[in-house]
Amino acid sequence: MHYALDTSSPTEIRASISASAAEVDEAIRESGQDARLLLADRLAREVMEKEDISPVSHPMYEGGDLKPGSAYDFTARLAVLPPIELPDCSSLEVRLPEPGLEQEELRGVYLAMLRQFATVEEVSDGRPAKSGDIAVVDIEALAGGEKVPGMQGSDLPVRLDDSGGRLKEVRALAEGLRVGETANGTMSCPEEFPVESYRGKEVSLKVTLKELRCEKLPTLDEGFAKKLGFGSLRELETKVLKDAMGSKMAFIKARAGEELLNGILDKTDFPVPEPVRELFVRDEVLGGRDAMLRQGVPQEEISRRINAALPDIRVRADRHARAHCFLLALASREGLQVPEKEMEDVIARMAGKDRDPAELRKAMEKNGTFSDVHERLLAARAMEFLYSHAKKIVVDRNGDPVQPPQGA
């Protein structure tokens, strides 16, 4: 093998690699149809080891097909982190709201728990839909006489409560209807709507109530607590409160960490390796495709929507890629590592009961997803390091720092 490096780009090293005819023939004998990729991977790893190159994301290759008895020339594109100005983490500050649960939050926690054991019955007395019911509706949404993609629905169950979200206009129209009745209204298409051409347009809504259901919640008492394995209602309430506080603190921590990282990125400029950006574009596209498939959107419509949303997808992907690169650079500076046991546990969960984790790992190492998973776990460790070393400032509802008590 012979190779030459082009290091002129701050985000990519291009390795021009030449494999001998003997190396090509050996690869074909050993690996058959997978020979090209496996040979490229092996030779690229040799180059990276000799030159002490640690790329981010799996290498990308440019070259033709292997031919028996002939040398093979290809280029390995190795994405590398550019120089990034990293802060002294102990000099950073992160603001946190005072810990505590509002009564409404606690009520919601209990309600969610009780709903896990609720029974649902059809309303057959002809009464109108009211708050708390589950309305099964058909939705038709038109803008300029055309159906708005993603806003249509058939036999869609909608809980009539006071929560916000994208179905609040539908809930408002459905409440008060009797089965078989229809209500009409309008709404403004959200600014974050995937298809840019519809954003801000007035949408005409038509909501038809197909079926009405009501939920019967169990009574929160000693008997209910004992059915769940608790010694008393007080024991259940203590566990619920502890879990709710834990969940809220985890949410607060995640949100504060995100704000901390965003603040750093807003002040830090650096180029992003294209393979890393494309990795996050791919994630956004696959996530959107899966969500639309679950909604029953036709395949051709999915492709059209994704193409229309690509500019916005690329903006979000670029932001995620910048955060990813920053965290990897921080992990490198601080010498953070992902324990082998953690990788084994992640792969075992991915494999589930129907696949051998060792076989899955081998396949992931072959297609590059192993390094992707490893990098994301490493970035998560760097995020934890960033947050844990920043100074925490507790603030009240007005954003003013809360003074600690005397002697604290």
* pLDDT for residue 348 is more than 70: yes
Q: Is 216 helix (H, G, I), strand (E, B) or coil?
A: strand
* pLDDT for residue 381 is more than 60: yes
Query: Across residues 34-47, what is the average pLDDT?
Result: 90
Query: Across residues 271-278, what is the average pLDDT?
Result: 90
Query: Across residues 162-185, what is the average pLDDT?
Result: 88
* pLDDT for residue 313 is more than 50: yes
Give per-residue pLDDT as tens, 177-216: 999 999 999 999 888 776 777 888 999 999 999 999 999 9
On whether the CB atoms of residues 75 and 15 are closer than 8 A, the answer is: yes
Q: Which residues 6+ apart lie within 8 Å of 145 measured at CB?
A: none
Paired with 122 in beta bridges are: 213
Confidence of residue 144 (pLDDT cuts 50, 70, 90): confident
Q: What letter would DSSP give residue 335?
A: T
Confidence of residue 295 (pLDDT cuts 50, 70, 90): low
Confidence of residue 406 (pLDDT cuts 50, 70, 90): very low
CB neighbour burial string for 224-241, b if at least 16 within 10 angstroms, e if fewer: bbeeeebeeeeebeeebe
* Cα separation of the two ends of the chain: 66
Per the rule left: phi > 0, alpha: psi between -120 and 50, beta: everything else, 166 is alpha
Give the range with max mean pLDDT: 234-238, 289-293, 367-371: 234-238
* CA dihedral of residues 166, 172, 177, 183 (deg, nearest 10): -80
Confidence of residue 308 (pLDDT cuts 50, 70, 90): confident
* pLDDT for residue 15 is more than 70: yes
The H-assigned helical ranges of 101-200 are 103-115, 168-174
d(CA 238, CA 240): 6
Q: What is the pLDDT of residue 408?
A: 39
The full set of domains in the chain, from first to last, is 2-79 (3.30.70.1050), 119-216 (3.10.50.40), 233-395 (1.10.3120)
User: What phi and psi values does residue 236 have, to the nearest 5 degrees?
Assistant: -65, -45
On whether the CB atoms of residues 202 and 188 are closer than 8 A, the answer is: yes
Query: Across residues 118-146, what is the average pLDDT?
Result: 93
Give per-residue pLDDT as tens, 322-335: 999 999 999 999 99
Q: What is the pLDDT of residue 185?
A: 94
d(CA 157, CA 170): 11
Q: What percent of the chain has a predicted confidence (pLDDT) above 70?
A: 97
Token output for 293: 């498939």
Amino acid making up residue 23: E
Q: Please state, as a whole number, how many other Cβ atoms lie within 10 Å of the Cβ of residue 373.
A: 16
On whether the CB atoms of residues 136 and 213 are closer than 8 A, the answer is: yes
d(CA 383, CA 319): 15
Amino acid making up residue 65: D
Tell the residue number behind the tokens 């009564």, with chain if given.
103
* pLDDT for residue 221 is more than 90: yes
d(CA 322, CA 272): 6
- Better pLDDT: 288 or 244: 244
Query: Across residues 232-260, what is the average pLDDT?
Result: 94
On whether the CB atoms of residues 64 and 24 are closer than 8 A, the answer is: no
Q: Please state, as a whole number, how many other Cβ atoms lie within 10 Å of the Cβ of residue 393.
A: 12
Tell the residue number behind the tokens 């650079």, with chain if given.
329
Q: What is the pLDDT of residue 165?
A: 63
Averaged pLDDT score across all residues of the chain: 90
Q: How far is CA 13 from the centre of its chain?
A: 29
d(CA 122, CA 212): 6
Token output for 259: 């704000």
Rg for the chain, CA atoms, rounded: 28
